[in-house]
């Protein structure tokens, strides 16, 4: 089977859960202000690719990240999950630690590629992210930084093969 034939077996319609982890964005969200540029970029790019999504914004609190991930991972309507925020080195950045507790397999190449591409675009600050990816309960889970530029790089990186990754995660 050729690579193109193999890719044709990937699902066509995907529904992606998007989680923005940010204390400041969550506070604005509670005041009915949507200041979540990174989450909006993810949703816009998913829509352009023909995929649907739902987005939520939560503060950088381990229990809330865990609760939301449990909900989306167990939701049969969700095909993949993308988080943005909480991947840096600040003491409040907890997303990666929580996500890793759910991963059955890690996909370190995603974080490596994101850092390399980010470094080409913005230099040294790109090296401060602990962005990662993996598979949790047969669902791809991607953790992107909170910076809009990083999210754009991340979406450019994963979107062309997202359906293919979903297919393999289900096998």
Range of the domain at 160: 16-170
Q: Within a domain: residue 125? A: yes
Alpha helices in 3-135 (DSSP H): 3-8, 23-30, 37-48, 62-74, 95-100, 108-122
Tokens of 19: 């989680």
Strands 52-58 and 15-21: parallel
Q: Within a domain: residue 128? A: yes
pLDDT digits (tens, 9 = 90+) for 34-53: 889 999 999 999 999 999 99
pLDDT at 6 over 70: no
Instruction: State residue 104's pLDDT score.
Output: 98
Instruction: State residue 15's pLDDT score.
Output: 98
Band of the pLDDT at 10, cuts 50, 70, 90?
Answer: confident
Instruction: State residue 2's pLDDT score.
Output: 53
Q: Within a domain: residue 7? A: no
Domain count across the chain = 1
Q: Within a domain: residue 54? A: yes
pLDDT digits (tens, 9 = 90+) for 70-116: 999 999 999 999 999 999 999 999 999 999 999 999 999 999 999 99
Q: Within a domain: residue 152? A: yes
Q: Within a domain: residue 5? A: no
Whether the CB-CB separation of 150 and 118 falls below 8 Å is answered with: yes
Q: CB within 8 A of 81, min separation 6: which ones?
A: 16, 17, 18, 19, 69, 72, 73, 136, 139, 140, 141, 142
Instruction: State residue 3's pLDDT score.
Output: 56
Q: What is the mean pLDDT of residues 122-134?
A: 92
Instruction: State residue 32's pLDDT score.
Output: 79
Q: Residue 67 sits in a domain of what CATH number? A: 3.40.980.10
Instruction: State residue 65's pLDDT score.
Output: 97
Q: What is the mean pLDDT of residues 3-19?
A: 82
Q: Within a domain: residue 74? A: yes
Q: Within a domain: residue 11? A: no
* Verdict on whether the full-model pTM lies above 0.85: yes
What is the share, in percent, of the chain residues with pLDDT greater than 70? 96
């Amino acid at each position: 089977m050729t690579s193109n034939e193999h890719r044709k077996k990937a699902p066509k319609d995907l529904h992606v859960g998007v989680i923005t982890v940010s204390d400041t964005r969550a506070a604005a969200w509670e005041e009915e202000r949507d200041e979540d540029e990174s989450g909006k970029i993810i949703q816009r790019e998913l829509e352009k690719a023909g995929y649907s999504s739902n987005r939520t914004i939560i503060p950088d609190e381990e229990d809330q990240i865990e609760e939301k991930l449990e909900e989306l991972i167990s939701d049969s309507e969700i095909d993949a999950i993308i988080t943005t925020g909480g991947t840096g080195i600040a003491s409040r950045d907890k997303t990666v630690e929580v996500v890793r507790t759910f991963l059955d397999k890690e996909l370190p190449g995603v974080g490596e590629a994101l850092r390399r591409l980010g470094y080409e675009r913005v230099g040294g600050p790109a090296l401060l992210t602990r962005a990662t990816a993996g598979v949790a309960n047969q669902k791809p889970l991607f953790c992107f930084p909170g910076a809009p530029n990083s999210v754009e790089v991340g979406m450019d990186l994963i979107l062309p093969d997202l359906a293919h990754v979903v297919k393999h995660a289900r096998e």
